[in-house]
Amino acid sequence: MEQLKMTNLDFNGRVAIVTGAGQGMGREHAKMLASRGARVVVNDVNAANAAEAVAEITNAGGTAVVDSHNVVTEAPEIVQTALDSFGQLDIVVNNAGINAFGRFWEMEADTWWRIFDVAVKGVVGVSRAAMPHLIASGTGRLINISSNGVMGVPTDSAYNAAKAAIWGLGITLAAEAREVGVQVTTLMPVALTPMTEDAFPNPVIKDAMRTTVPASSVSAFVTWLAHQDTAVFGETFEIAGVAAGRVAIAGMPRMKVEAPTPESWADSGEVLMKDGELRAFRNASESFRDQMVYLAPELDEVLPANAADVSR
């Protein structure tokens, strides 16, 4: 790949918004982008933290401004800050998030929806406001922060549901936005930050995380994805420290019943629950095609790889 040969990813002339950049990973992303020449909008509802992050950037010779709008209710204003301050927008890192734990049926509805909204309404609102400017950039980059929580963590249903929504949005948006020159990628990071500081009480785990996955360790990956020469379309990555991998949905082996009756499925439960070779799906077309060819093998010749793409 072209970018593997690069020695220096430079962001001169680029403008970035990082949401939730007052602390944790967001602050580190903002600092790294600024250290390489990007002019950065440091967004956070915690204005004091955002100001501290901006001071760190400017003291190091970078350019950044504070924006304390709320991603849920004031997304267009965040984009406007970039335009008013720097006249353009090339990169958005949708990083703001909150979390709280409690059983689904015990958590106050307001709390549940607040967690969900910061993630989903935040990403949707900021991305919608940003898209025309990312398109105008010619090499727009949109990076959405999801979580491996999409695979389930008890007592974290609002967060996980929201992060799954961000994941699904990203897969679809990546395909749509590619046609207009904007690269959309989704990250499932792991890092020791104020958000996760108390989630791992075991000191051995926490010490290992402090060394291997400090908040700053994800920023190099974000910065690589944010660069105008990076061409990675429609992917989701797990990223933890110096380790990363692509994420896909995997299906266990399929089975068929003789007739579609509840009794046939009841008799087949054991077979259905057996693990086996996995099939990886990156999008709905791959899953749809795989299911249809399994049922009607003659479709193998007929079904296009993008069978579930209704935009054609």
Ligand X SMILES: NC(=O)c1ccc[n+]([C@@H]2O[C@H](COP(=O)([O-])OP(=O)(O)OC[C@H]3O[C@@H](n4cnc5c(N)ncnc54)[C@H](O)[C@@H]3O)[C@@H](O)[C@H]2O)c1
- The binding site for ligand X (CB under 6 A) comprises 19-20, 22-26, 43-46, 49, 70-72, 95-98, 118, 122, 145, 147, 189-191, 193-196, 215
Compute φ and ψ for 294, nearest 5 degrees. Answer: -65, -40
Number of H helices, E strands in the chain: 9, 10
| Alpha-carbon torsion (57, 77, 136, 187), positive or negative | positive
For residue 196, the minimal CB distance to ligand X (Å) is 4
> Which residue's C-beta sits nearest to ligand X?
24
For residue 137, the minimal CB distance to ligand X (Å) is 23
Comparing CB distances to ligand X, the nearer of 68 and 230 is 68
For residue 308, the minimal CB distance to ligand X (Å) is 28
- The C-alpha atoms of residue 6 and residue 71 are separated, in whole angstroms, by 34
Residue found by looking up tokens 């961000």 in the block: 166
For residue 161, the minimal CB distance to ligand X (Å) is 13
Q: In the annotation, is 294 catalytic?
A: no
Compute φ and ψ for 243, nearest 5 degrees. Answer: -115, 135
Spatial contact of 236 and 22, defined as CB atoms under 8 Å apart: no
Q: Out of 11, 116, 159, 237, which one is annotated catalytic?
A: 159
Give long-range contacts, CB 8 A cutoff, 24+ apart: 292-299: 294/254, 294/256, 295/256
Could you please report the per-residue DSSP string of 177-236? HHTTT-EEEEEEEE-BSTTTTTT---HHHHHHHHHHSBGGGGHHHHHHHHSTT----S-E
For residue 216, the minimal CB distance to ligand X (Å) is 11
Spatial contact of 219 and 225, defined as CB atoms under 8 Å apart: no
Q: Which residues are catalytic?
A: 159
